[in-house]
Amino acid sequence: MPVYKAPLRDMKFLLNDVFDYPGHYQTLASGENATPDIVEAILTECGRFCEEVLSPLYQSGDEEGCKLDNGEVTTPKGYREAYDQYVMGGWQGLSAPEEFGGQGLPASMGLLKQEMMGTANWSFSMYPGLSLGAMNTIFLHGDEHQKQTYLIPLTEGRWGGTMCLTEPQCGTDLGQVKTKAEPQADGSYTLTGTKIFISSGEHDLTENIVHIVLARLPDAPKGTKGISLFIVPKFLPGADGGLGERNAVSCGALEKKMGIKASATCVMNFDGATGFLIGPENQGLECMFTFMNTARIGTAIQGVGPAELSYQWALDYARERRSMRALSGKKDPDQVADSLIHHADVRRMLLTQKAIAEGGRAMLYYAARLADHMVEAHTAGDEQKAAKYDDKLGFLTPILKGFLTELGCEATNLGMQVFGGHGYIREHGMEQIVRDTRISTLYEGTTGIQALDLLGRKVLLMTQGGAVREFTLKVANFARKHLTNKQLRPMSVELLKLTAQWNLLTVRVMLAARKDRDVVSAAANDFLMYSGYVTMAYMWLRQAAVAVDRLNEGGEESGAFYQTKLATAEFYYERLLPRAQAHATSMLSPARNLMQVEPEHLAFTG
């Protein structure tokens, strides 16, 4: 059975060499205890937990799946024991405030943990991952009583959390939410309705589950402006902080899914369940965006993690499997055939996986620094500073989620391709990675929704192109610094051209949209993918610049690591980045070629 190996060398390279996290942590109040030694110890121990505890459950969990019996969900064998170890290790409270039992470390430390856990076993990682979103929402929008009641058991991992948005009649269009919330004399509410696709909605890992639910108050405005947010626990909190009576919320069914079968995806029924308003009335969606942005960054990991896992397994297979002879001559003359890794097309697939995994990881770590500043400002009550970093992160979030998950799907398919027919067979695990990864482009907003959010909302509506101008200025300034370096000049010149083109494309789409509103929707996907390729190019230039510096310093035992970094950066620029030009051409194509065929004529008529 294939195993997962935590990519600690690459993680430390990004943290210490590329993004200077030690210096970054010194600027944060929460970074006081995030010393290099502590960070090293946390990464090492988390890597061990993921390799030895979570990874061995990956395939068996998929085979067994979750089971529903009389409203109770049982997770696969070994999951409860693994979760107990997770709780005992204090992993849930890694980045939670100390006042609620957490360790008070920066938010980015939680992301590093999530990446390793999600790569080793994505289905398992979803259970505590949803809890983190609930914790963030309550911390930012709950009153003091709600914080004291819910955050301590959630931080300890004794309780779990969910987000309950989607209903049978609506997916992303939350303006159609029908779940009702009726006010009660004691200040609580009774909620009635059905939610679908609820990850971790019911399970046996924690003693209680705290649902964060969108619902409508009586006489609320129609559409998204009339939605409020509620806390609905599975068991009502007792007076002593323990468990009270069972609430009227239950799991009606488990979804039969293509992948992530060890994650309980539930239909949840609220039959007059007791809930508590969190945040202002009719502003639930604004409060939920805290949860949604957290979830979207988390989902971006599902692009990077599977790319890494599939690459690791494909690389091992390509080294061992022998087939034919390399076109340039025998590489293993004493063997019946050469290893797959000697064939150029197999190298293409492996390097594509590597470039996606390591380029995507850099994008996540870049964004995590912004998240640290945003959380720090929120905690300190500096809402102006928090809003500034929220805007910076908000621009990147749809790129991270949409672009990285699309490329993650590509990378996992390539890994299966390296295995050939064996990749299609369940025992090797490659087809499971493909199945598990496919959901990442769908939940927390499909790629199309992320694209509309980026182009329609973040770029055109909110900033009139200002978000692109601000980000590309930073990228261009970095590229200019390396124009005189012989090894980096070709990449720097190309990146400078792309930053100028990105701004020009934004203006052209903006002008076209004034005449035809369909242009925004028609161009959005290509705009997102173009943005992703350029952003990843920036990350690869940053990695290449450090690699060149280290190689010039000499004396490094890990010289091969930096040589490989530089070579992978060149591969990305020469083989993958040209795709951006196809997206540039496509996004300027008129919307009429999508809309001129009438809907009734799209059907096959024979």
Active-site residue set: 444
Structure token pair of residue 114: 């999530």
Residue 67 three-state SS: strand
Q: Measure the CA–CA gap between 503 and 501, rounded to whole angstroms.
A: 5
Which residue is associated with the tokens 């945040």?
A: 279
Is residue 534 within 8 Å of residue 506, measured between CB atoms?
A: no
Which residue is associated with the tokens 């001559």?
A: 329
Q: Which contiguous run of DSSP H or E holds residue 243?
A: strand 243-246
User: Which amino acid, 21?
Assistant: Y
| Helices vs. strands in the chain: H and E counts, helices first | 21, 11
Q: Measure the CA–CA gap between 587 and 521, rounded to whole angstroms.
A: 10
Q: Phi/psi at 182 (nearest 5 deg)?
A: -105, 125
Write the DSSP string, 499-550: HHHHHHHHHHHHHHHHH-THHHHHHHHHHHHHHHHHHHHHHHHHHHHHHHHH
SS (H, E, C) 7-36: CHHHHHHHHHHHCCHHHHHHCCHHHCCCCH
Residue 212: which of 284, 159, 124 has the closest Cα? 284
Residue 215 three-state SS: strand
Residue 106: which of 487, 376, 286 has the closest Cα? 376
Q: 130 in the Ramachandran plot: left (φ > 0), alpha (ψ -120 to 50) or beta? A: alpha
Residue 72: which of 193, 243, 327, 252 has the closest Cα? 252
Residues sharing a CB contact under 8 Å with residue 583, sequence separation 6 or more, in sequence order: 526, 527, 529, 530, 533
Q: Which contiguous run of DSSP H or E holds residue 363?
A: helix 344-380
- Our CA dihedral for 371, 374, 379, 381, rounded to 10 degrees, sits at -170
Which residue is associated with the tokens 């598990």?
A: 436
Residues in the chain: 606
SS (H, E, C) 296-330: HHHHHHHHHHHHHHHHHHHHHHHHHCECCCCCCCC
Structure token pair of residue 168: 């049978």
Q: Measure the CA–CA gap between 34 and 538, rounded to whole angstroms.
A: 27
Q: 5 in the Ramachandran plot: left (φ > 0), alpha (ψ -120 to 50) or beta? A: beta
Q: Which contiguous run of DSSP H or E holds residue 237?
A: strand 235-237
Which residue is associated with the tokens 């019911």?
A: 202
Q: Measure the CA–CA gap between 395 and 470, rounded to whole angstroms.
A: 10
